[in-house]
Structure 1
Amino acid sequence: MSQAQVTEFFCQRKSGAARAPGHRRKGRVRGSSASGFHHGNKESALCCSPVREEFVRVVDEAAGLSNDRQSASSRPDTDPASPRTPKRSSAEAEFDLGAAVFSAAAEHSSVKRRRQAGRARDAEANTTEKTTRGTPAYQRYHTLAQATPPGLSLPYQYKILAEMFRSMDTVVAMLYNRSETATFAKIKQGVQDMMHRRFEESHVGQIKTVFPAAFSFRQQKNIPTFNSNVSRGSYQLTVEPVLNRNEARPVLSASRLLERRRVFHQNLISVVKQHHKAFLSSLVPPVSVPEDKLTRWHPRFNVDAVPAVQVGSLPPPPHTENVSTAQEVLEKARSLITPKVRRQRPSTSTTWSVGSQNPAAAQPAVPPAGLVPSSLKGVSQSLLDRIRAKEAQKLQAAMTRNPAQEERLLMLTRLGELARILRNVFVAEKKSALVMEVACNRMAASYRSALSLGEMEKHIRLLAEVAPDWLSIHPIRKDFYLKLNKMVELNVILDKLNHRLREEERL
């Protein structure tokens, strides 16, 4: 309702109230004017009644606005285009628009507050995690994070060294293929740009220890460096790849890079195998496993605790001095060897001879074989020896097992529970034969872990192979049907599966 209508209503009401006393005074003098008064009052009432009804309706609608909203929210089926709903004027539309804007602003502020509170909680959680976390464990427990089965995994520092060799070989190949001398300064810059790690001469020495036939190292001078910090006449360490010289100018291609990387990885595995062999010899009883049959490390062998590769010796720059006469040479020799050093020379040699034996004496002593823990006191030694021998035999079989046998053993461990599920499926279906697809669907839905239909079919075929007198598979047309022998007890089948699993573990 507009402001003009409200003003018109109050103006008409005031004019009607002002005319009413005059008509009453005229009615006292002349009785004939009473009918005119009633007629005028009736016309004013008729004139103002629509305006008054409109005003009262708008006031009632404004007062019951909240009630109408609550009723509309509780009754979503109410038709919004009902005939009772009046058309909204421009003022009402502006009022509703302002309310919508206000509600949107309030909702935005509440969402913003929730986001700020969530960020504060995340920041607090991160700070708590940083304070509670000690030294990083991604190096000490790197092997545990590998996918199972672990196989012959490398320690973390050995993997970093293999990545450094790959980067170094790539840089050297680029420089060698364009007939440019590969100096250590160029290689260092390239490797650090590729790995975002520090690369020093000690890492080059470790690479030489692992793969000595990969590069040849020399000290050369008069090499253009294009660097003001290194003079042209100074000696620099140069690296050149060792290739087959049958060709006139061999090229270090991508296939050769892959082959060299594979050889380097195998050499790292050989280094770890030597430490693993020393660990197996220190066990009680000792375990001997051929290196060519080893497929995984011993469970108690800490791979990430393997010591770092020894640093190989690189050719040092030649030490040159400018001497012109023999007298200068003698004086230089006298200045280097003092009388005190001459007197202590025998004792020094003795000290070095003794010190050379200290590293062997500093090796960790192997615990004696007869040492028995306090918790096993009272147990016969023969029983302990038999248990240790059986455990060593089981661990040796586990270390020489290939991945196919490992997967078969894992499937055999699941067959006991799958046999129970298959028996229940046949009982529930009340059929003597089931289609392979139906049985796989029922068993996959009932098994405790997620298995695909293809994996479930492999388990069923293995179950039919291990227990052919209980479960049989019959190909009919394009489908395979499973038939169960209900005369055989389930406990007999479970004992048979456990026995077969123990036999497979001994292999």
Structure 2
Amino acid sequence: MVSISCRSATSFDDPGTPRKTPIKTPVKTPLKAPAHERFQYLIEKPSEELVLPYKYRFVKEVFRAVDTVVSLLHNRQEVITFSKLKSAVQEMLRKAFSERHLGEIKTVFPLAYLFKQDSTKNIGKSFLKNGSNSGYQLTINANMDYKPAAQNLMSKFNENCETRTTKFRKMDSVVLVERRNIFHNSLINIVREHHGEFLKSLDPPIDCNASIKRWHPAFPLEDVPDIEPSPLPQPPVTEKLDTAQDILSKAHDLFSVNPRLEKAVVDAAASTPKKAPDAKLPEQSTQPANIAAALKGVSASLLEKIRAREAAKAARDMTRSSSENKELEMLSRLPEISRIIRNIFVTEKKAALPWETVAVKIAASYPSMLAGNEVDSHLNLLIKEVPGWCTVHKVRSGLFIKIDKNEPQSNITDKLQAAIKQRQ
């Protein structure tokens, strides 16, 4: 009887040769732009403390609508003409839209768009019935190289857009946010220039325009000049002479055809009297009469000190941040709150009171409305500004407040007023 032995597949392998492990090829991850480029729109947040005038806010709203429409057409790779853009923007804004608005956008943000007069033969004759009879139509292209850099971008901006061979890039939400932030900051810089001229015109002048957090109280924000629109490309002027009458009117001068008209114009010019130069008006006083009468007898040195003190105060007000303003506002409430706290302890006739009880009574007794968390912030600030008078003790049942009843209330008020004066 013959026995057949079955060998496994591994028995045929040579035990002397090492087994080969499969080599894994690394998966190539797509290259990403640096983080400072991808998240630059988060760094360049628009200023929230410096307010824009109404006319500039409207220009910003127009740019938002234009950029939204341009992004939709740009992502579909459509030709963006002014007639197509105008109808869509007017529907969004519910207001009239003209080429002047595009000129204002070009002034504020020159690198936003590329403008060009394109022949209607290249974009279709259907645009002729939309208001263009010259054979040319203003086209708008989104400029994706819109970020300002150290090199001269204006020379790059003035290049012919036909020679650009850049890769197509969609206008996503990140691009829209970046462009809006750049536009808003450009508007702020324009107002900042007018504000700087206003500060130089003061007596004495103030030099803190670079680090301001808010405009000067006397700055006429709503009276800043309108944005001067930049010129847009115009269609080439081509004069056509179709009829014989056009050729005749072009060949002959108007006066040579009608000599009597020429003689009448010459006689009218000779008989017209020359306009007399305006008399020079006397210089008006730089100060009104009532102000000059009120300042009569005041020394010039005292006036200079007062003006310098007012200028320094205005400079501090403009450079103070929002957090510092909030702290100063809280400090102004502390004298009244300290008086309320003393009255609470005198009425209750106790050495210590729970924190919640004191907070509720302060909120009920203060002249204006204060929320619970606001009362807690004021109490913490009072403990910080007047150490030793109001103290907090933590026990098992909670937080308790104690005050030094031997300290006169006038001393507490003087300390708080000194702290307020120091922050102002």
Q: Taking structure 2 as the reference length, what is the TM-score of the superposition?
A: 0.71
Separation of aligned partners in 2, 1:495 and 1:333: 92
Structure showing the higher helix proportion among its residues:
1
Offset at residue 225 of structure 1 (A):
5.9
The one-letter amino acid of 1:466's match is E
The one-letter amino acid of 1:240's match is N
Specify the alignment match of 2:136 in structure 1.
235
Specify the alignment match of 1:189 in structure 2.
87
Specify the alignment match of 1:384 in structure 2.
303
Q: Give the counterpart of 1:166 among 64, 68, 87.
A: 64
Query: Which structure: larger Rg?
Result: 1
Aligned partners of 1:217 and 1:239 also within 8 Å: yes
Q: Give the counterpart of 1:175 among 70, 73, 77.
A: 73
The one-letter amino acid of 2:78's match is E
Specify the alignment match of 1:317 in structure 2.
235
Aligned partners of 1:151 and 1:297 also within 8 Å: no
How many pairs were matched up? Answer: 328
Specify the alignment match of 1:155 in structure 2.
53
Separation of aligned partners in 2, 1:336 and 1:241: 48
Specify the alignment match of 1:442 in structure 2.
361
Separation of aligned partners in 2, 1:333 and 1:402: 71
Q: Aligned in 2, Cα 1:462/1:336: closer, same or farther, shift over 3 Å?
A: farther
Specify the alignment match of 1:260 in structure 2.
179
Offset at residue 226 of structure 1 (A):
3.6
Separation of aligned partners in 2, 1:374 and 1:155: 36
Aligned partners of 1:225 and 1:232 also within 8 Å: no
Aligned partners of 1:219 and 1:316 also within 8 Å: yes
Q: Aligned in 2, Cα 1:335/1:217: closer, same or farther, shift over 3 Å?
A: farther
The one-letter amino acid of 1:476's match is V
| 3-state SS, counterpart of residue 116 of structure 2 | strand
Separation of aligned partners in 2, 1:185 and 1:336: 38
* Structure 2: runs of 5 or more not aligned: 1-47, 146-163, 257-261, 263-283
Q: Give the counterpart of 2:195 among 264, 276, 287.
A: 276
Separation of aligned partners in 1, 2:107 and 2:413: 54
Specify the alignment match of 1:224 in structure 2.
124
Aligned partners of 2:331 and 2:416 also within 8 Å: yes
The one-letter amino acid of 2:233's match is P
Q: Aligned in 2, Cα 1:337/1:313: closer, same or farther, shift over 3 Å?
A: farther
Aligned partners of 2:195 and 2:209 also within 8 Å: no
Offset at residue 476 of structure 1 (A):
2.4
Aligned partners of 1:282 and 1:366 also within 8 Å: no
Q: Aligned in 2, Cα 1:423/1:162: closer, same or farther, shift over 3 Å?
A: same
Specify the alignment match of 2:334 in structure 1.
415
Separation of aligned partners in 2, 1:159 and 1:273: 15
Separation of aligned partners in 2, 1:333 and 1:380: 77
Aligned partners of 1:224 and 1:232 also within 8 Å: no
Separation of aligned partners in 2, 1:155 and 1:181: 34
Specify the alignment match of 2:278 in structure 1.
none
Q: Give the counterpart of 2:98 among 200, 207, 213.
A: 200
Q: Aligned in 2, Cα 1:390/1:231: closer, same or farther, shift over 3 Å?
A: closer
Specify the alignment match of 1:211 in structure 2.
109
Separation of aligned partners in 1, 2:255 and 2:77: 46
Q: Give the counterpart of 1:481 among 400, 403, 409.
A: 400
Offset at residue 477 of structure 1 (A):
3.6
Offset at residue 475 of structure 1 (A):
2.3
Q: Taking structure 1 as the reference length, what is the TM-score of the superposition?
A: 0.60
Specify the alignment match of 1:298 in structure 2.
216
Offset at residue 333 of structure 1 (A):
9.3
Separation of aligned partners in 2, 1:246 and 1:253: 20
Separation of aligned partners in 2, 1:183 and 1:305: 34
Q: Find out whether 1:504 has 2:423 as its counterpart.
A: yes
Specify the alignment match of 1:430 in structure 2.
349
Separation of aligned partners in 2, 1:304 and 1:337: 51
Aligned partners of 2:196 and 2:209 also within 8 Å: no
Aligned partners of 2:383 and 2:390 also within 8 Å: yes
Aligned partners of 2:334 and 2:382 also within 8 Å: yes
The one-letter amino acid of 1:272's match is V
| 3-state SS, counterpart of residue 226 of structure 2 | coil
Aligned partners of 2:49 and 2:213 also within 8 Å: yes
Separation of aligned partners in 2, 1:480 and 1:335: 100
Structure 1 range deviating more: 436-445 or 373-382? 373-382
Separation of aligned partners in 1, 2:252 and 2:202: 56
The one-letter amino acid of 1:302's match is P
Specify the alignment match of 2:315 in structure 1.
396
Q: Aligned in 2, Cα 1:366/1:501: closer, same or farther, shift over 3 Å?
A: farther
Specify the alignment match of 1:375 in structure 2.
294
Aligned partners of 1:275 and 1:306 also within 8 Å: yes
Offset at residue 323 of structure 1 (A):
8.4
Q: Give the counterpart of 1:451 among 367, 370, 386.
A: 370
Q: Aligned in 2, Cα 1:195/1:433: closer, same or farther, shift over 3 Å?
A: same
Q: Aligned in 2, Cα 1:427/1:248: closer, same or farther, shift over 3 Å?
A: same
Q: Aligned in 2, Cα 1:287/1:233: closer, same or farther, shift over 3 Å?
A: closer
Specify the alignment match of 1:308 in structure 2.
226
Offset at residue 288 of structure 1 (A):
1.1
Offset at residue 319 of structure 1 (A):
1.2
Residues 341-363 of structure 1 show CA distances to partners (whole Å, capped at 9, x for unaligned) of xxxxxxxxxxxxxxxxxxxxxxx
* Structure 1: runs of 5 or more not aligned: 1-149, 341-364
The one-letter amino acid of 1:199's match is F
Q: Which has the higher contact order (CA 8 A, sep 6+)?
A: 2
| 3-state SS, counterpart of residue 216 of structure 2 | coil
Residues 187-213 of structure 1 show CA distances to partners (whole Å, capped at 9, x for unaligned) of 111111001011111111111111111
The one-letter amino acid of 2:72's match is M
Offset at residue 247 of structure 1 (A):
6.2
